[in-house]
Copies of this chain bind each other. A is one copy, B any other.
Amino acid sequence: MDNIKNGWFTESNDLWPGQRTSLEIEEILYEGRSEFQNIMVLKSKSRGRILILDGIIQCTEHDEFSYQEMISFLPLCAHPNPKKVLIVGGGDGGVAREIAKHPLVEEIIQVEIDAKVVEVSKKYLPFMAEGFRSPKMKLKICDGFEYMRRHQMEFDVIVTDSSDPIGPAVNLFTESYFQLLKRALKSNGIICSQAGTVWVGIEHAKTTIDNCKKHFNVVKYALASVPTYPTGQIGFLLGSLDEGNVLDEPKNVFDENESKEMGLRYYNEDVHRSAFVLPNFVRRVFQF
């Protein structure tokens, strides 16, 4: 806990050198180690409860919704009929919570390698972990790679909700991972993965896009605002096997009443389209 001092938690990491984010802490709710990583849940003064894995903030109660909604509804609404969905990672339950909301989704399989993250989230982050209570959900504690090798041509949508490309998540950004995703999808399937930030190390995002392009016919990159993440923004990589699929045009839309009932605080059809609009410096590197 050398990252907590005088009542402040500080995040610092080699992925974004020379910068640190600090949050004032009211209480340490949990601290422990699983087989895979260090897990901490803090109660902060300004952002509610925070989940931290290996010293890196995964989500805060106040702004997690933009991330969870976007990584879920971008691929779900880009798909004409997303019945069966696989979540890789996402042990806090936030992505499952969002995907379970979609009226066309009938079945959700989630594979998370770290049972401890699920257990801790259920106890200390109930607003996230409510996803696990959906009758559509089947949670499997196992390795996502192994699971996908045994399940081919099965899913309409696969969401990879990983931590950053260090530690256990490093393999989720490689070409062989995209090959595995491709095989686990039905012929018109769509994937969506967390894909870093364009403001620090844009080359890493470019490499991930190029890896994805080797196996997917349509590849796009979308942006969302998440204040607590370094640079305040995160990118998502979307890939479609159907070469006719224009990913930035939502196939299913919700009106304001439906949206309120579903508890959507960030995502709407205009946000969907505009998330794919990239600033010049990004467009030029990605060559979109």
Chain A 221-260 per-residue mask, 1 if CB under 8 angstroms from chain B, else 0: 0010111011111000000000000000000000000010
- Measured CB to CB, the nearest residue on chain B to A20 is B22
Q: Which of A23, A45, A270 has the most CB of B within 10 A?
A: A270
Docked Cα-Cα span, A19 to B230, in Å, equals: 13
Residues of B within 8 A of A199 (CB): 63, 225, 227
Residues of B within 8 A of A179 (CB): none
Residues of B within 8 A of A63 (CB): 199
Docked Cα-Cα span, A88 to B43, in Å, equals: 41
Residues of B within 8 A of A266 (CB): 279-281
Residues of B within 8 A of A8 (CB): 20
Docked Cα-Cα span, A227 to B279, in Å, equals: 14
30 A-B residue pairings within 8 Å (CB atoms): A8-B20, A16-B46, A17-B24, A17-B45, A18-B44, A18-B45, A18-B46, A18-B47, A19-B21, A19-B23, A19-B24, A20-B22, A20-B23, A22-B22, A46-B200, A63-B199, A199-B227, A225-B279, A226-B232, A227-B230, A227-B233, A229-B232, A231-B232, A232-B232, A232-B233, A265-B281, A266-B279, A271-B277, A271-B279, A274-B277
Interface contacts beyond A199-B225, A273-B274: sample of 4 additional A-B pairs, CB < 8 Å, sorted by A: A20-B22, A225-B231, A227-B232, A232-B233
